[in-house]
Amino acid sequence: MIAFLLAQTIAITGGTVYPVSGPKLANATVLIRDGKIVAVGAGVTTPSGATRIDATGKWVTPGLIDGAGQLGLVEIGAVPGTREGFLRGDTIAAAFNVSEGLNPASMLIPVTRIEGVTTALATPLGNLVAGQAVLIDLAGNTIEEMLVKSPVGIVADLSESGKNEAGGSRAGVADRLRRAFRDALLYERRRADFNRAQMPPLPESPPDLEALLPMLHGQEALIASANRRSDIETALRLAREFKLKLVVAGAQEAWQIAGELARADVPVLVEPLDNIPSYDALGVRYENAGLLAKAGVKIALLETDTHNSRNLRQEAGNAVAYGMNWEQALRAVTLSPAEIFGVADRYGSLEAGKVANVVVWSGDPFEFTTGVEHVLIRGKEIPLKSRQTELLERYRKLPPSY
């Protein structure tokens, strides 16, 4: 159990610290008090009474942030009763915020955080507008304790799968989204008339229309799944028409228009180990992240297999193998997702004032040789235990003792 309000000072000393916001610091200290980072540097003194974590010879980074998946929203993929990320029967489900579907007791959460992922986007699935994604820390006894930001943005599907909700054509997808956005703006202008039933009802429900407005006013992001180059360009077109803050997710063929994305200052969420061609994106390739980074596009890396969000670091390592540089890849699993999701004032780097999500690694976090030695979420050290570590201990010797 994690007590959140207990005052505690922790000093992580002697490690090589990768603040991400600045160059790496040899033999540095990360000082944490009451859940926040209060100092980072080589000259930081450890106050007496502080709990000391010796990180000599270790690497210290911010906790990793996975910009995808359904952590907290799914327990067993094939068991519908354990899935909370999809709202049936609402094509424009803009008002569907997944928060209250989160399960703080999910067994996936310890499995994931003990391998260095401390924060994740919990995203709705399906429909044309799937709903509102939220950012969560992988700790906390209640939904309120887990939430970092809600909502982070409205998720819409401009990929092939979205067509099912829009008459079966990509043109239908764009048209349907445009109408929904216009309806929301119309609703906003004539709310009183709608409420007095002076206007014919719109196809979208009033709560969904209301929920689209912050996005249409640029206060929240549109997180658009799009893979084919032309679909990404459609997302860019919609963003221009409605002055949206766009984030492209999936983005398999984004490398083909990397310069355009960079000029438009549109960030992308990409899964580096994504290269199986489909008619949605024949041009999908391993070099996507590297080519986007080279063009100056802001990137967050994803591991979309929720049960193995812990493999985010393998994704990052492979992004390096296929063209990103190492520092870019580390940023793409820490500070860049924090910036894209609008929490960089609190998350994503090791700097005074930020939330103390910190991981101590035995070495390079992307390498298979490396293990996690300490995980802190909001300044509390997390025991390195999960259902899987318990299974290992039970069956380490046979016969097991039940």
Partner 1 sequence: MRPSLLLLFALAGGCATGAARPTREAGAAPAPAQAPAPAKQAAGESSSVDRQQYPSTYRRHPNPPVVIRNATIMTAAGQEIANGSIVLKDGRIVAVGAKVDAPADAVVVDGAGKYVTPGLIDEHSHLGVYAAPGTDAESDGNEATNPVTAEVWAEHSFWPQDPQIPLAIAGGITTIQALPGSANLIGGRSAILKLIPARTVQEMKFPGARYGLKMACGENPKRVYGQKGGPSTRMGNMAGYRNAFAQAEGYRRKWDKWNKDHQGDPPDRNLKLETLAEVLRGDIYVQNHCYRADEMAHMLDLGREFGFPFRSFHHAVEAYKIRDLLAAAGTGAAVWADWWGFKEEAMDGIKENAALLQQAGVRVNIHSDSPSGIQRLNQEAAKAMYAGIRAGIPVTRDQAIRWVTANPAWAIGLDSLIGTLESGKVADVVVWSGDPFSVYSRAVQVYNDGWLVYDRNDPAHQPRTDFQLGQTPGPGSDR
Chain residues binding partner 1 by CB under 8 A are 75-79, 108, 255-256, 273-279, 282-283, 285, 287, 291, 307-308, 310-311, 314, 317-318, 320-321, 366-369, 371, 388, 391-392, 395-396, 398, 400
Nearer to partner 1, 43 or 279 (CB): 279
Smallest distance from partner 1 to CB 321, Å: 5
Continuous segment of H or E residues that includes residue 368: none
Distance in angstroms (rounded) separating the CA atoms of residues 154 and 59 = 36
Smallest distance from partner 1 to CB 334, Å: 17
Q: Which pair of tokens denotes residue 242?
A: 């409605």
> Angle at the Cα of 135 (from 52 to 273), degrees rounded to 5?
90
Nearer to partner 1, 62 or 290 (CB): 290
Nearer to partner 1, 193 or 393 (CB): 393
Q: Which residues lie below 8 Å from residue 85, measured CB to CB, with a gap of 6+?
A: 70, 73, 74, 98, 101, 122, 123, 124, 125, 126
Strand partners, 51: 10
Smallest distance from partner 1 to CB 366, Å: 6
Nearer to partner 1, 216 or 268 (CB): 268
Distance in angstroms (rounded) separating the CA atoms of residues 225 and 98 = 17
Smallest distance from partner 1 to CB 307, Å: 4
**Nearest Cα to Cα of residue 13 among 51, 47, 43, 52:** 52
Distance in angstroms (rounded) separating the CA atoms of residues 221 and 217 = 10
Distance in angstroms (rounded) separating the CA atoms of residues 148 and 134 = 8
Omega before residue 399 within 30° of 0, cis: yes
**Nearest Cα to Cα of residue 15 among 79, 47, 62:** 62
Residue ranges of E strands in 22-116: 25-33, 36-41, 51-54, 59-62, 64-66
DSSP codes of every residue in 11-25: EEEEEEE--SSS--E
In angstroms, what is the C-alpha Rg of the chain?
A: 22
Smallest distance from partner 1 to CB 119, Å: 20
Smallest distance from partner 1 to CB 144, Å: 26
Q: Please check whether residue 55 is in contact with residue 40, taking contact to mean a CB–CB distance below 8 angstroms.
A: no
Smallest distance from partner 1 to CB 266, Å: 18
Distance in angstroms (rounded) separating the CA atoms of residues 129 and 307 = 24
Nearer to partner 1, 198 or 369 (CB): 369
Nearer to partner 1, 76 or 171 (CB): 76
Q: Which pair of tokens denotes residue 174?
A: 């764009």
Nearer to partner 1, 76 or 352 (CB): 76
Nearer to partner 1, 119 or 256 (CB): 256
Smallest distance from partner 1 to CB 360, Å: 14
Nearer to partner 1, 304 or 349 (CB): 304
Smallest distance from partner 1 to CB 252, Å: 12
